[in-house]
Amino acid sequence: MRLPVTYTSAAEALQIIKSGDRIFVHGSAQTPTNILRELSLQADRLKDVELVFISVLGQIFVDQPGLEDSFKINSLFVSEPIRKDVNEGRADYVPVFLSEIPELFKRNILPIDVAIIQVSPPDKHGYCSMGVSVDVARSAVNTAKKVIAQINPNVPRTHGDGLIHTKRFNAMTYFEEPLHEASYGGRVGPDELKIGEHIANLIEDRSTIQMGIGAIPDAVLRCLGNHKDLGVHTEMLSDGIIELFDKDVVTNKYKAIHPNKIVTGFALGSRRLYDYIDDNPAFTFLDIDYVNDPHVIRRNPKVVAINASIEVDLTGQVCSDSIGTFQFSGVGGQMDFLRGASLSQGGKPIIALPSRTKKGLPRIVPFLKQGAGVVATRAHAHYIVTEHGVAYLYGKNLRQRAAALINIAHPDDREALEKACFERFKIF
């Protein structure tokens, strides 16, 4: 039988949090800004509350100077709002594959005391939807001792693993606020589009694609207009999917698992995307320990994983989460999908990056910057793409790799790279 819905204020709902608790906070589009603001106001009564999450967006309030004794951020990804906190020592970062974050909760490595989530209003059976962020939130909620939910009518109802009954909530509050939005479109310039074209040429019809985060995946989507019967099995979705789906470029017909459905863990884009997804049975939002499991990913044919990176060295080591020691981002699902794609029949794991930064620094380099984090090892790197072309590294020795990578470096960087290659490998 359905229990009556009883709402409290956010301040009251948060009373179930005690000093020393570990709290999971819903992320991406559904970062519960209002609740975080309220939580920060309770700093005086709380000590050593640990906050774990993946990519929170917007102002999070609990990281304000002076609240360090009350709130400790221990993040599983580094998104923009906490980048400064992490690099200035006010927050910590845990490097981990996205697919394995649920294990941290389930195996009590990071047991969750309270999960704070944002959900749609309940349906007539009492079920709310976790909307466009099911990803690690599903496991957090499954394992949390207590759950606080903010009901927000702006949260879309999505199909898949994100449904949760109000019975599961220990406290419920109602607040209407816009979901967070993101757009990479403004950062897609001629170089990104050239990269998009090179990648589009690598993608065969009937492939199953995954797109990572950043301007390049956005550019790739724009270049796929003439493809046929693509499938989508990805960790995240952005606005570019709408046009491809409307134009029947994406039909999901030839996927081996979840045919006719787009499978994802979360969506991050504009309100238009969230409205498009709302109650749309073509989209299935699933638990990330399933979506990002390389053994699941590999079951689809011709999986093409497209992810961006920060720097690639001449042997193919891929740094995607830091600029030297500066922690810019996280491991995320990049490796999950690179591995899944390489195991899939006819799959293509692709790493893409402009050959130089906007300030003119080379991104194909002899050595990664000191302190750089290797997200994908050189054994995992198959295709590296810049605006100057495609380097295919799989099966190539170190010297052959260096030659292939020099060919796609910025033309003005090639001489220095050749010199470095000669010094290291005694030949070019």
Query: Which of the residues are catalytic?
Result: 235
- Among residue numbers 338 through 367, which ones bind ligand COA (CB under 6 A)? 357-358, 361, 363
Whichever of 171 and 211 has its CB closer to ligand COA, that residue is 211
Contact present, 336 and 97 (Cβ < 8 Å): yes
**Least CB distance to ligand COA at residue 389 (A):** 18
Tell me which residue has its CB nearest to ligand COA: 214
- Both structure tokens of 205: 């019809």
214 near ligand COA (CB under 6 A): yes
Range 45-67 burial, b when 16+ CB lie within 10 A, else e: ebeebbbbbbbbbbebbbbeeeb
Contact present, 180 and 204 (Cβ < 8 Å): no
The binder of ligand COA chosen from 333, 340, 349, 373 (CB under 6 A): 333
**Least CB distance to ligand COA at residue 359 (A):** 6
Q: What are the DSSP E strand ranges found in 295-376?
A: 303-308, 311-313, 318-319, 322-323, 326-327, 348-352, 364-365, 374-376
Whichever of 369 and 399 has its CB closer to ligand COA, that residue is 369
The Cα–Cα gap between 332 and 338 comes to 12
DSSP letters, 163-224, are EEEGGG-SEEEE---PPP----GGG--HHHHHHHHHHHHHPPTT-EEEE-SSHHHHHHHHT-
* Main-chain dihedrals φ then ψ at residue 274, nearest 5 degrees: -65, -40
Would you call 87 helix, strand, or coil by DSSP?
helix
Contact present, 314 and 406 (Cβ < 8 Å): yes
* Segment contacting ligand COA by CB under 6 A, of 64-72, 209-217, 378-386, 414-422: 209-217
334 near ligand COA (CB under 6 A): yes
The binder of ligand COA chosen from 70, 139, 166, 307 (CB under 6 A): 307
368 near ligand COA (CB under 6 A): no
**β-pairing verdict for 91-93 and 146-151:** unpaired
Whichever of 198 and 363 has its CB closer to ligand COA, that residue is 363
125 near ligand COA (CB under 6 A): no
- Among residue numbers 229 through 248, which ones bind ligand COA (CB under 6 A)? 235-236
99 near ligand COA (CB under 6 A): no
Which residues, at least 6 apart from 248, have a Cβ–Cβ distance to it below 8 Å?
Answer: none
The Cα–Cα gap between 149 and 147 comes to 6
Whichever of 70 and 334 has its CB closer to ligand COA, that residue is 334
* Main-chain dihedrals φ then ψ at residue 284, nearest 5 degrees: -120, 120
- 43: which DSSP letter? G
The binder of ligand COA chosen from 143, 152, 284, 320 (CB under 6 A): 320
Whichever of 6 and 370 has its CB closer to ligand COA, that residue is 370
Would you call 267 helix, strand, or coil by DSSP?
strand
- Among residue numbers 50 through 79, which ones bind ligand COA (CB under 6 A)? none
**Least CB distance to ligand COA at residue 317 (A):** 13
27 near ligand COA (CB under 6 A): no
Whichever of 161 and 321 has its CB closer to ligand COA, that residue is 321
Contact present, 342 and 384 (Cβ < 8 Å): no
96 near ligand COA (CB under 6 A): no
The binder of ligand COA chosen from 311, 313, 387, 413 (CB under 6 A): 311
**Least CB distance to ligand COA at residue 401 (A):** 18
**Least CB distance to ligand COA at residue 332 (A):** 3
**Least CB distance to ligand COA at residue 219 (A):** 10
H/E element, 252: none
139 near ligand COA (CB under 6 A): no
30 near ligand COA (CB under 6 A): no
Residues near ligand COA, by CB under 6 A: 212-216, 235-236, 307-311, 320-321, 323, 328-330, 332-334, 357-358, 361, 363
